[in-house]
Structure 1
Amino acid sequence: MPRRTARIRRRASGTLAALLAAVVVATGTPAAAAPTARSLGYGPLALAPSSPGDEGGSKNLRDTLEAVSKGHIEAKAKLDNSVKRQAALTAELAKVEVRLTELNAVVAEVAVESYRLGRLSAVATLLNSASPEAFLERAAGLEVMAQRDDKQLRALTEAREEATRAKAAIDNEVREQQKQLAVIAKRKTDAERALAAVGGKSSTGFVAANSPAAKPAPKNSDGSWPKESCTINDPTTTGCITPRTLHAMNQAQAAGYKRYVSCHRPSGGGEHPKGRACDFASATSGFKDADATGGDRTYGNNLAAYYVKNASSLGVLYVIWYRQIWMPGTGWRSYSGGGSPAGDHTNHVHLSMV
């Protein structure tokens, strides 16, 4: 009797487990289970009702958007760095010009004195010495004067050469800035052309003046972004992400955006397989197969605006939310991803990083 009871219990337990598994497959969440911290936050075991799918658009479009955004960001960093160098050179030139003015005045006095006394007057002065001691004293004085005059003349020559070099360096920086501005303009044109092919037009986008400021990610000394690879364990999946992507995600969490997020995907196009992209669900329960409305849409609006505001300090490549895409250089543009909530990004905010 006890063995029979045990078999019945095992069968019942197996049947119940199978029913629960079927419910999880059908709905994506355990039956009659309240959302847990893991199901709402990120973590390797986090649950979500459905996957956000691909980034939307064709592979060619995604590759183009990645290239133009990176090109813009790199050119902007070079432009900003050149502007800083020009400012430093201009300040240096100003100091040199002040020094030139002072040296010109000193050399002018030397010239007046030489004209008044004449270079031959030194010989006469020595010959007219009353004693050997006076001769030596006057000779020493004349040597000091000559050294002083030569020093002033050399200093004036060096200052003029320094000013010439500074002016040439400033001219080079101006040419560099013109070059990078041309690159930025071309990148913008390329992006607009690519988006126009899929109906992308200028849009109002999502802006929030009160978005909190994020802690900046580390940059190189010249203002460019360090090259990073997929080396950090992704806390949202079993994959990997870049350090900069992790930083951007953590900053959003610190700012209060703590709903479900998924980053690395082993396959597909775009930045996800590279560990440089994350999808932030707008709903508290995860990725719903429906357009966000009400508070969910407000959450997505604010999160998208947060990343746009902090784009330059975090290293944001582009943001997609609710049929619109933001890229540096173009701002918000309309964006169609195929008509589904996942493709059109109406159920999640997509973030791509440099």
Structure 2
Amino acid sequence: MRQRFSLALTLLTVVSVLAGTAAAGPASATPTGPATTGDEGGNPLLRDVLESTGRGFAAASNAVRNARERQAAYADELRRIEEQLDSLGPEVGEVAVSAYRIGRIGPISALLASAGPDEFMERAEGLDLIAQRDNSKLRKLREARDQASRAKAAADAALAEEQRQLAVMAKQREAAERALSLVGGASTEGFVNTSSPVASPAPRNRDGSWPAQSCNRGDPTTRGCLTPRALHALNETRRLGFTRHVSCYRSGGPFEHPKGRACDFSAEPGGFGGDAKGGDRTYGNNLAAFLVRNADQLGVLYVIWYRQIWFPATGWKAYSSAQGDPSSDHTNHVHLSLL
């Protein structure tokens, strides 16, 4: 009950903030300066929801990928062990047949039937070699069976972890869609370009997760700073042909820009103007499609362009948390936020 009340209170707060924002009236667009400060997912509360669910979704998605890789590795190991067991079958069968024919008294009888001490020693050594050979075959069989059992248990554990993380992803997706429903939320075709270039991947941790980063790199678009991952994304967009005006770091405010984790890419060459049209809009469409296609390589949290927002958990959605001007409507620039 307390959780449902808290959720209801949170949603009511979001609605109130949105209503207050709309009542304040449209903000003036800045022709050549940075986009307005309200451009990162609307109000701070909505932005917090998007950031928390985005990071949770990314972590769960990486865990699912790791679990599936482990399952594939265990499946390969099981196939190898099964082949080993198949090859050991005939050898172990020979041991069983030999034991049946000789019986337990067989070795003792062989020794007692020796003609003299020398023959006794020869037979004893021969029987010892046979026992060693048979014991080795049986030990290999037991070891192979134990390995198969462990591999099967590990594969089952990886499958269970995958199912658990998929449930986490579903919850994060539901939370994101619930938050986005307050600012439009209807699914759209978005911006897709199958011929978008492929970016070089940003560095990850050994387990595939994204490392925590601080704003400690110089921002070439301002006098501020960027995280290494944000700088990598900026450099990749430029390297692959998106070279128009960009502004990243921005001091003040609760959003991603002051943390060095966001950039605004103008649709115009010289600065942030009015609604993008013609070739400028095509440029923005292509850039948005590029960022989405390379979201996994770059560590994208969300992208906003032309009254639409792309979120990894939801895909492209309508975005109406705006004030009617080109900056907050994102009709003059593509906004990128990174994990």
TM-score (normalizing by structure 1): 0.85
Match of 1:325 in 2: 309
Which residue identity does 1:130 align to in structure 2?
A
Q: For 1:1-354, list aligned pairs within 5 A.
A: 49-54=32-37, 55-56=39-40, 57-288=42-273, 290-336=274-320, 337-354=322-339
What is the Cα deviation at residue 329 of structure 1?
Answer: 2.0
Q: 1:192-226 CA distances to partner (integer Å, 9 max, x unpaired)?
A: 11011122210111011111111111112211112
Question: d(CA) in 2 for partners of 1:338 and 1:70?
Answer: 27
Aligned partner of residue 223 in structure 1, secondary structure? coil
Query: Unaligned 5+ residue runs, structure 1?
Result: 1-26, 29-47
Question: d(CA) in 2 for partners of 1:111 and 1:300?
Answer: 75
User: Quick check: which has more Rg, 1 or 2?
Assistant: 1
What is the Cα deviation at residue 266 of structure 1?
Answer: 1.2
Which residue identity does 1:86 align to in structure 2?
Q
Question: d(CA) in 1 for partners of 2:294 and 2:225?
Answer: 23
Question: d(CA) in 2 for partners of 1:67 and 1:339?
Answer: 27
Question: d(CA) in 2 for partners of 1:192 and 1:340?
Answer: 25
Which residue identity does 2:131 align to in structure 1?
A
Question: d(CA) in 2 for partners of 1:258 and 1:269?
Answer: 28
Question: d(CA) in 2 for partners of 1:50 and 1:145?
Answer: 88
What is the Cα deviation at residue 155 of structure 1?
Answer: 1.5
Question: d(CA) in 1 for partners of 2:71 and 2:205?
Answer: 19
Which residue identity does 2:309 align to in structure 1?
I
User: Quick check: 2:184–2:317 contact (8 Å CA) kept in 1?
Assistant: no
Aligned partner of residue 75 in structure 1, secondary structure? helix
Question: d(CA) in 2 for partners of 1:226 and 1:85?
Answer: 21
Once the two structures are aligned, what percentage of the paired residues are identical? 55
Which residue identity does 2:32 align to in structure 1?
P
Q: Which of structure 1's runs of 4+ aligned residues deviate more than 4 A?
A: none
Which residue identity does 1:257 align to in structure 2?
F
TM-score (normalizing by structure 2): 0.88
Question: d(CA) in 2 for partners of 1:164 and 1:154?
Answer: 15
Aligned partner of residue 186 in structure 2, secondary structure? coil
Q: 1:125-149 CA distances to partner (integer Å, 9 max, x unpaired)?
A: 1111122211110000001111111
Aligned partner of residue 320 in structure 1, secondary structure? strand
Question: d(CA) in 2 for partners of 1:251 and 1:219?
Answer: 16
Query: Unaligned 5+ residue runs, structure 2?
Result: 1-28
How many aligned positions are there?
A: 308
